[in-house]
Structure 1
């Protein structure tokens, strides 16, 4: 607070201490309150010294304090202004010494240049990282597109496989239905065949209830009668179908019946003039029965042969 202004040049300057009035102000106060300097007192030695009143002294002290406060405030303002001026002067000097767009002349790289170089290196590293990231992103984008195409292809293949599976499943169900139908037809045909076999065996093994057994001539005459020949001349229409295997090995017993074989041989040895029309020759062995959907589902009636008439054994 008691600092003085810096000297201007080599001249001496009066220093004002705290609580002390400047010289000019003390002269003014002396003139105001009637105080005289020692020189003035010598000149006016004739006048007696007058003591100031206490009230005047108190007022003087108050005025001096106010002046001191004002001076201290002014000193503070001047110091702040001096600091601002020095800062502005230093900045102006640096600005005038530094060329535009370049580093200061005659200066070595300092912290600012090092920081700039570091920032440039970091910028290059960031650019390299950005370039690598861009390349990686493009690669991932290409892989994503390829994966999407592969997924679409797999979806199409899955749709085709599902469609084919549905077709195969439908065909399998149809085949199962056909197989069940064929099995049912086979069982039904076997049942009809067994019935036909039983009726045929009954017809072949049936003998007259009374009387001697007819000889071959009587059987031949009976078979060659017009009614029998007319019935035999009418062929039985059997639709062709897939041939099935015999269900048992006992079928040969029917075809190997000696009575039927003897009867067939007698029919072959008969003269053609004694019959009105040629009878169809029966094979020695009956062919295997064939499946047919045209066979009536009702069971075959039992065939009963009428009793053969007795004939004279002598021709």
Structure 2
């Protein structure tokens, strides 16, 4: 599997990354999924401190223990679980970040985090304080690099402008091309994009047409528009899953396409799709069948 540099960090990540949010709460099953990913050449794994009530980091850390020095491990901070475990509040303060990283390190069973990401952000945040926390953690050696997970251009722009962040995680796919408007800004800041929602909640897989037929819509597509677009995409290619992953990696600003998996089979489907690829001329035709929407809110 090919690798790309994450920003200008010197960290090289597999073009296909594994998002762990949908992992089952079962150590044996998680280990099987992770081992399959490692065997296929995936070296980039993404989790977050609040996934599955903090259980996800523990499962991921245990499954990756024997592979730790060979992988790039990413997690997130900023959302704080409520005491009752139901919902969370936003807390980007330095005190919270400096304290929460210790808990993540403990749950992950590691001495350092390769990529620590701010899990959201608002224009009301004291961004200087937040960035100071990340920079302090870098100096202490507890994290190697940091980035942000957000779809708000205003927040992303301010964070990149004031920091040495190397990555932006954004929802991006054939069905959600809104980030394309901001590719130049992100790459010009020396950062790169990690795509999430690469398969658009399954609309860009073999089951996509069936899902679209009972959907209320997706991103800025209304239900009827979504159905028409998904059907048109499937008419154009014989493997929309493969084409969608290839599309997500088309632009050099993108370092890695994140896919999720609840089962080993789901992961294998994405690995096979990645390896199959799609010709550039077909990808151009697919682009012409989709809309390049823009963010209506949080604009610079």
TM-score, normalising length: structure 2: 0.15
The structure with the larger Rg is: 1
Higher helix residue share: 1
Higher strand residue share: 2
Bigger relative CO (Cα 8 Å, ≥ 6 apart): 2
